[in-house]
Structure 1
């Protein structure tokens, strides 16, 4: 699977201690797609501008969609702008694709199977391979997951760093975008609390 699919797989695994926000995951998935396209030489970076590369996108439906969404004429798109544009509702798109491909199924938990509906990953070789990459500390996957609040609990201080200036640029942009999204959430929470206080009876 692609790095983006591996990231989605890891994010969908049971996380009793925390849940991953859809917005955060969408931004990180957009970054993962861009890294996959970089590795395939379907794009290159000129500073933080995304320049279409000499090779076609890998034979993957979602990566093909990502490649089709690239800005192919000057002025090229900045990495941060790509994350926000491509990342809009991207997690939902991956969920739909996983369901369509039989990698994700809907189940119900509770008495007589009448509990809340949940999404569960199907046990497939692709899922096990993603889990293996995660457990082995693959640096790009680890950095993308850490950006959305999923650091490996057993991560060692000497874990390898992601290679390449372009990949590092994308990872930094993902971190910045996720922090910006969190700042927006906090600002809205403060504004909503202030508005509620206006209507509170003394």
Structure 2
């Protein structure tokens, strides 16, 4: 099960109706990768520290890239540090990868004289699986989708795994921190505009 890819698919599926902040999605994808790599036994969570394990290929290009990016020296990296480092630009990387493996197509949108390209999901088994997991309220995918802003609530099913809870809490905290940074920048920009106008 590839939760990171499923989350990227769900985000693209929801994009026309519910645009998502790329930074929020990137943080959630980085969290999903941790959980996928725990499942693949490529890493072990020791409290909130990510300890690399066997470096066996996962069969997924981006997860193998994530495995290669793990810090392999003590005291190792915290989950939060990983989210910020690995998450930088990760949403775009997943969109590109979905196109590379044929799960999306690019279509022209807009009217003349300006045309732009829009990425759309194709009908595929991967898309059906991802949307089914979300529709069934699978707790991990649902919680990550909520953290990324794709859903209002994380879902009703509880998560009873300490490692999953640690990752989900770190994703939630990081998304809130990113939102605080956005708000601070808006306030600073508004103040600068007022000074520029002479207010």
> TM exceeds 0.5?
yes
- Computed over aligned residues only, the root mean square deviation of the Cα atoms, in angstroms, reads 2.0
| Distance in structure 2 (CA, Å) of the matches to 1:63 and 1:29 | 11
- Single out whichever of 176-185 and 38-47 deviates more from structure 2: 38-47
Q: Aligned-pair distance for 1:197?
A: 0.2
Partner residue in 2 for 1:167: 164
1:150 aligns with 2:150: yes
Q: Does 1:91 align with 2:95?
A: no
- SS of the residue aligned with 2:70? coil
Equivalents in 2 of 1:163, 1:57: separation in Å? Answer: 28
Change in 2 beyond 3 A, CA 1:149/1:133:
same
- Contact 2:12–2:121 (8 Å) recurs in 1: yes
**Partner in structure 1 of residue 3 of structure 2:** 3
1:188 corresponding residue in structure 2: 185
Deviations 1:149-190 (A, max 9, x none): 22268x86xx32223101110000000000000000000000
- 28-37 vs 91-100, which deviates more? 91-100
1:191–1:73 distance in 2 versus 1, CA, 3 Å: same
Gaps (5+ residues) in structure 2?
A: none
- The count of corresponding residues between Structure 1 and Structure 2 is 199
| CA deviation after TM superposition for structure 1 residue 3, in Å | 0.3
Tell me the distance in 2 between the aligned counterparts of 1:91 and 1:117. Answer: 17
> 1:127 offset after TM fit, Å?
0.6
CA shift, 1:137, in A, is: 0.7
CA distance in 2, matches of 1:149, 1:169: 19
Conservation of the 8 A alpha-carbon contact between 2:44 and 2:52: yes
Q: 113-122 or 124-133: which moved more?
A: 113-122
- Closer/same/farther in 2, CA of residues 113 and 94 from structure 1, 3 Å limit: farther
Asked whether the equivalents of residues 37 and 57 of structure 1 are also in contact (C-alpha less than 8 Å), the reply is: no
Note the C-alpha offset of 1:59. Answer: 1.7
Q: 1:125 to 1:86 in 2, by over 3 A?
A: same
Aligned to 1:61: 61
Distance of aligned partners of 1:7 and 1:113 in 2 relative to their CA distance in 1, 3 Å threshold: farther
| 1:110 shift after superposition | 4.3
SS of equivalent to 2:197: coil
1:33–1:63 Cα contact (<8 Å) kept: yes
Is 1:27–1:178's contact at 8 Å kept on the other side of the alignment? Answer: yes
Instruction: Give the unaligned 5+ runs of structure 1.
Output: none
1:103 deviates by 1.1
- Structure 2 counterpart SS, 1:178: helix
